[in-house]
Amino acid sequence: MAGLELLSDQGFRIDGRRPHELRKIQCRLGIFKQADGSAYIEQGNTKVLAAVYGPHEIRGSRGKALHDKVLVNCQYSMATFSTGERKRRPRGDRKSQEMTMHLKQTFDAAIQTALYPRSQIDIFVEVLQSDGGNYCASVNAATLAVIDAGIPMKDYVCACSASFVSDTPIVDISYLEESSGGPELIVATLPKSEQIVFLEQNSRLHEDNLSKVLDLAVKGTKDVHHVLDQAVREHVSQVSAFENTDQS
């Protein structure tokens, strides 16, 4: 990748952000009527839809039911048109299976699973447009959808990625920065208590730099949390506004 400068001398990244800046986040809650909860999020050019169904009776094989907690069932998929190259993506491929598993682990940790024994919560995530940080956007969208469904969680789960380019940690990396071969650190946290629920690292990063990059990623999740919280508050006050005024 010679000639491609991820961080300019002036300290700007390719898309004009500073190292610690997130991409623009836009989100909406309650976009589907049919689902119990749903959300749509745009993080820069990464666009993700999430829908939550449940808690409901276990569908399919009864044997999967857990007698003391709810079964969290996730499904991650990418649209054929989500990347630069149009490609059919069957749901069962390795990449999305892995992503599905990671989402399941993340939400198992955040949802108060003990409240709904013998039932099931389905979380469906669809990436409509992919520009890096698919896991992060998926987690953030799914969090909003779970909140919209009124399912109790310990806290929001927010995810953010970070990388390390020319001795500077950079946050919320785009596809270009992701594919340049540098290290990638993906972290999902419960932002209020700063507990890490998920941590993944791709390619090598020197141990001395790990804490710097991790700190920036965790700070990134807090920034994400701030944006999501605003959106949830706005949505909830909008919906409950007329319910209160109309009570006669």
Partner 1 sequence: MRGEIESNMAVDIRLAGTRETTKRAVPDEIANLVTPGDVITSDTGFMRGHGTYMEDDKLHTSVAGVVERVNKLICVKPVKTRYNGEVGDVVIGRIIEVGQRRWKVETHSKLDSILMLSSVNLPGGELRRRSEEDEKMMRHYLKEGDLISAEVQSVFSDGALSLHTRSLKYGKLGQGTLLQVSPSLVKRRKTHFHHLPCGASMILGNNGYIWLCPTVSEETGTETGGYDQDLQPVTKGDRQTVARLRNCILAQAAHGMMLFDTGILYTYEASLKYPVKDIMKPEVMTEIIEITNHRQEVEGS
Per-residue contact track with partner 1, 186 to 225, x per CB under 8 A? Answer: ----xxxx--------------------------------
Residue 153 or 176: the one with the smaller Cβ distance to partner 1 is 153
Amino acid at 24: K
Residue 6 or 228: the one with the smaller Cβ distance to partner 1 is 228
Residue 85 or 243: the one with the smaller Cβ distance to partner 1 is 243
# chain residues binding partner 1, by CB under 8 A: 42
119 binding partner 1? (CB under 8 A): yes
Nearest residue to 186 via CA among 215, 160, 224:
160
132 binding partner 1? (CB under 8 A): no
Nearest residue to 141 via CA among 21, 22, 27:
27
The CA distances from residue 160 to 82, 185, 189, in Å, are 20, 8, 9
How far is the first Cα of the chain from the last one, in angstroms, to the nearest whole number?
Answer: 66
61 binding partner 1? (CB under 8 A): no
26 binding partner 1? (CB under 8 A): no
147 binding partner 1? (CB under 8 A): yes
Let me know the angle formed at the C-alpha of 173 by 227 and 191, rounded to the nearest 5 degrees.
40
Residue 18 or 56: the one with the smaller Cβ distance to partner 1 is 56
116 binding partner 1? (CB under 8 A): yes
At residue 51, φ and ψ (nearest 5 deg) are: -135, 140
Could you tell me the two tokens for 32?
Answer: 């589907």
Residue 147 or 186: the one with the smaller Cβ distance to partner 1 is 147
Widest CA span of the chain, in angstroms? 69
Residue 14 or 153: the one with the smaller Cβ distance to partner 1 is 153
- Report the phi/psi class of residue 150: left, alpha or beta, with left for phi > 0 and alpha for psi in -120 to 50: left
64 binding partner 1? (CB under 8 A): no
Q: Regarding beta strands 168-171 and 195-202, do their DSSP bridges make them parallel or antiparallel, or are they unpaired?
A: unpaired
10 binding partner 1? (CB under 8 A): no
Q: Which of 131, 148, 184, 223 binds partner 1 (CB under 8 A)?
A: 148
Q: Which of 117, 128, 176, 201 binds partner 1 (CB under 8 A)?
A: 117
Amino acid at 113: T
List, edge to edge, every strand of the sheet that includes 168-171: 168-171, 158-165, 184-190, 195-202
156 binding partner 1? (CB under 8 A): yes
150 binding partner 1? (CB under 8 A): yes
Q: Which residues bind partner 1 (CB under 8 A)?
A: 30, 36-37, 54-57, 112, 116-119, 147-156, 190-193, 229, 232-234, 236-244, 246-248
